[in-house]
Chain A
Amino acid sequence: MKWNIDSERPVYIQLVEQIQAGIISGFFKPGDKLPSVRDFAANAGVNPNTMQRALTELERNGLLYTNRTSGRYITSDLKMIKELKRQSAKDITVGFLEKMKQLGFKEEESLEIVINIVKEMKK
């Protein structure tokens, strides 16, 4: 997995976001086993304690679960992954609309721009 961690924001939050993105994109498949905290941390180039904190967070919201004897897994709950994907699409769209607003476009205008660009790309 390709990590992209900057130092401006809390590292554990960025780990949570990027693991979530990995689950949405299918890099991590439902039911996949995760590497050990130490290996996972070394892979991301972060502190194991920070990785632990991120994984605990993901466990709390149900995307990961721990089997006491055999390790940590991605949820097999497809509905939950679908919901995560929907939420993520919403966040991106809201962010996009906010940026367009700063440029002076109303929502309807932004929508029109998007439709036109999609048409052009199809040509």
Chain B
Amino acid sequence: MNPILECQSVTKKYTGFTALSDVNLTLERGRIIGLLGPNGSGKTTLLKLINNLLVPDSGKIYIAGINPGMETKKIISYLPEKTYLADWMSVEQAIKFFQDFYEDFDSKKANAMLADLEIDPKSKLKTLSKGTKEKVQLILVMSRQAELYCLDEPIGGVDPASRDYILNTIISNYRENATVLISTHLIADIEKILDEVVFLKQGSVFLHSSVDDVRIQEGKSIDSLFREVFKC
């Protein structure tokens, strides 16, 4: 099978600023991968490129062998950094919305997760707290049977107890051939569930390695290595 993601010398510039410069990255199937880097290192830009919300200035991106577009949106489940659901919707309506939109959406799974996290499906999104809204979005995204999950800061506003539940959901929900790409600053919280880690530094791939290899070679956690590499 071809890799789930291939970036070939991808460069993306915003006016007067290079967000990503000559990024070469291949991600295999069946992995949980941390996309880590300080603010402004290009994490969100990379995720947007993968999801066809941005187009590279040069270079090529392949998702399961094809260019980003309508076909790739069917196999990628994307949690953006900002909410995009309409405020007036209830949780129930949002589920219906996803069900209409994506063939691979499993509403049974979504409802089970809502029940576990004690979220009332009848409540309107605008009445929910920031953290609860984040949970709802993550539930929607993880209830798809996608081949690639792109999660941009999925647990930032979520309390530690629910964080554990969500990480467990990620571990137990992803299928053997699916890859999960997680961008986050909460490295210590997620590093136990990662297979691999990608460090972005000023728009370039600084490191791409198995997490246990890093621990063997460096004798330290990913969190400590991050603090060392990106020391201010």
Contact = CB atoms under 8 A, between A and B. Distances in A.
Interface string A39-66: 0011001111110010000000000000
Which interface residue of B191, B195, B222 has the most chain A CB atoms within 10 A?
B195
Contact residues of B: prevailing secondary structure: helix
Interface residues of B, number: 24
A23 to B, nearest CB: 22
21 contacts: A6-B221, A7-B188, A7-B191, A7-B223, A8-B215, A8-B221, A10-B212, A10-B216, A11-B212, A11-B215, A12-B212, A38-B172, A41-B171, A42-B172, A45-B168, A45-B171, A45-B193, A47-B32, A47-B192, A47-B195, A50-B195
Contact of B168 (A11, A42, A49): A42
Contacts of A122: none
Contacts of A9: 215
A46 B212 contact: no
Interface of A: 5-13, 38, 41-42, 45-50, 53
B216 A5 contact: no
B181 to A, nearest CB: 14
Given A7-B188, A7-B221, A45-B192, A50 B212 contact: yes
A49 B31 contact: yes
Pick the 10 closest A-B CB pairs, nearest first. Answer: A7-B221, A10-B212, A42-B172, A10-B215, A47-B193, A7-B191, A8-B221, A49-B195, A42-B171, A46-B192
Nearest to A6: B221
B194 interface: yes
Contacts of A50: 195, 212
B164 interface: yes
B30 interface: yes
A49 B192 CA distance: 11
Contact of A45 (B167, B211, B219, B222): B167
A53 B30 CA distance: 14
